[in-house]
Structure 1
Amino acid sequence: MAGRPYHHGSLPETLVAHAVQLLDEAGVEAVVVREVARRAGVSPSAPFRHFPDRAALLAAVTEAVAMDFGEIQMAAVNSADAVPFRALGSAFVQYALAHPHRFALLRGAVLGADRTPALEEGHRAFTQGIIEMITAGQRRGELRRTDPEVIRIAAQALVYGLSQMFIDEYLDASRADVLIDQVIDLFGLGVLAPDSDLRREAGAPPPPTTGH
Structure 2
Amino acid sequence: MKTTGRPYHHGSLPEKLVEHAVELLDEGGAEAVTVREVARRAGVSPAAPFRHFPDRAALMAAVAEAVMVDFGVVQLAAVRSAEALPFRALGTAFVHYALAHPHRFALLRTVLFAADRSPAIEEGHRAFTNAITDMIVAGQRRGELRRADPELIRIAAQALVYGLSQMFVDDYLDASRAETLINEVVDLFGLGVLASGRSVDA
* CA RMSD in angstroms, aligned pairs only: 1.4
Instruction: Name the structure 2 match of 1:180.
Output: 182
In structure 2, runs of 5+ residues without a counterpart are: none
Instruction: Name the structure 1 match of 2:149.
Output: 147
Specify the code of the residue in structure 1 equivalent to 2:92.
S
User: Structure 1 segments of 4 or more deviating over 4 A?
Assistant: 3-6
Query: When the two structures are superposed, what TM-score results if normalisation uses the length of structure 1?
Result: 0.90
In structure 1, runs of 5+ residues without a counterpart are: 203-212
Measured after TM superposition, the shift of residue 111 of structure 1 is 4.6
Secondary structure (helix, strand or coil) at the match of 1:10 reads helix
Percent pairwise identity: 74
Measured after TM superposition, the shift of residue 71 of structure 1 is 0.3
Deviations 1:1-27 (A, max 9, x none): x45545313100100000000001111
Answer yes or no: is 1:78 the counterpart of 2:80.
yes
Measured after TM superposition, the shift of residue 194 of structure 1 is 1.5
Q: How does 1:53-202 map onto structure 2 within 5 Å?
A: 53-196=55-198, 198=199
Whose RCO is larger (CA < 8 A, sep 6+)? 2
Deviations 1:37-83 (A, max 9, x none): 01111000000000010010000000000000000000000000111
Instruction: Name the structure 1 match of 2:42.
Output: 40
Instruction: Name the structure 2 match of 1:7.
Output: 8
Assess if the C-alpha contact under 8 Å between 2:3 and 2:41 holds in 1.
Answer: no
Assess if the C-alpha contact under 8 Å between 1:144 and 1:193 holds in 2.
Answer: yes
The higher radius of gyration belongs to: 1
Assess if the C-alpha contact under 8 Å between 2:95 and 2:162 holds in 1.
Answer: yes
Instruction: Name the structure 2 match of 1:205.
Output: none
Query: When the two structures are superposed, what TM-score results if normalisation uses the length of structure 2?
Result: 0.94
